Structure formats: structure tokens, C-alpha cells
Amino acid sequence: MWFIGYFYPQIAVYDDLEIYFNMKGWDFRLTHLGVQEFYNDFNNYDVSIEVPAGFYVWATGSLTNPEEVYSDKFLRRIQEARLNDTLVHLLKYDNSENNNLTGSTWKFEARKVPDFAFGTTPKCIWDATNIKIEDRRVSIDAVYHPKSDYFPMVIHEAKKNFRIYFNC
């Protein structure tokens, strides 16, 4: 299983806040010492990721070509998870139904985000659910290795956090 933070040079923010004496300017501190917050501009990303056959990909933003990478049957299961408040186990580690994928080029679009990252693996557990926040549904997914002791509960904790944060 791979989780990759996409690295690239970014223009730094000019900080005109004088929190400490004479700290105004570009990249005044080159290291993060815990006294200031990381921040940068929001960006838009249109990314294509080509992986070997049989690999799944998850990334920042929205998958724009699901019909090109998922079988119709598996796409219906994903849609069910997006409409259902209960937990749906989309993938089991043994991946006994190995006919879920139909393509190997994944396309993602992300708008107004500070960074882009992705993960890919041929075998994993993928749990999905969603929560209704005001007038829309928000997807909650957890993808993890079966030997992980804590990840089976992550999706439930994420849903609890959404409920607390959005008071729903």
C-alpha cells in the first residue's frame, strides 16, 4: 500500500504579520518550530495517475472518470455506499471479486485545496459510509491494511466527528 504526498515547489506566502520582532517577509522561518501555522494559497488540480492493472487509487478531490476504472457492478456498490447511512464494506483484503476494475488511468479534480496527495494499492479493506450535512451528503471512507489494529474503528470515529462539528 502506498500513500504519496505529491511534492512540488510552491510560492511562499509573504507574511506581513509582526508577531515577533522583525519577522516580516518571505519565508522568514525555514523550519517549523510550532509557533506559527503552515499556510499557503489554495489551488486547483486536474491530475491523471496511471498505475499497474489491478491497483486502486484514492486521492484529494473527486474522481472524474469512475466509469472508466470501475466495473458497472462495483460502481453501483459505491453509489449505494454514497446514499446509505450504514457502513458498506466495498473491498475485503482477499479481494475475491477481482473483476472490480476496468482501467488503470485515474483522473481526479480538486478545487480550492492547498495540496494534493494520493494512495494506491492492489489489496486493502475499503469501508464507506456517508452523512447528511444540511442539504447534501458527504462521503466518509477508510482504506486500510487488515493487520491494522485501529483502522476498523476510524470510519465510525470520523462520522462522530462530522456529527459533532456540523451539529447534525
Note the pLDDT tens digit of each residue in 102-119.
Answer: 999 999 999 998 788 899
User: What is the per-residue pLDDT for 84?
Assistant: 80
Of the candidates 87, 110, 93, the residue with the CA atom closest to the CA atom of residue 158: 87
Lowest-confidence pick of 17-21, 54-58, 118-122, 162-166: 17-21
State pLDDT tens for residues 29-73. 555 555 555 566 788 999 999 999 999 999 999 999 999 999 999
**pLDDT higher than 80, residue 128:** yes
User: What is the per-residue pLDDT for 21?
Assistant: 57
**pLDDT higher than 90, residue 126:** yes
The answer to whether 104 and 149 are in contact (CB under 8 A) is no
Model confidence, pTM: 0.77
Q: How far is CA 29 from CA 14, 24, 70, 153, in A?
A: 12, 10, 45, 38
As a whole-number percent, the residues of the chain with pLDDT over 90 amount to: 46
**pLDDT higher than 80, residue 164:** yes
**pLDDT higher than 80, residue 83:** yes
State phi, psi for 72 to the nearest 5 degrees.
-60, -45
Lowest-confidence pick of 4-8, 25-29, 72-76, 152-156: 25-29
The answer to whether 118 and 49 are in contact (CB under 8 A) is yes
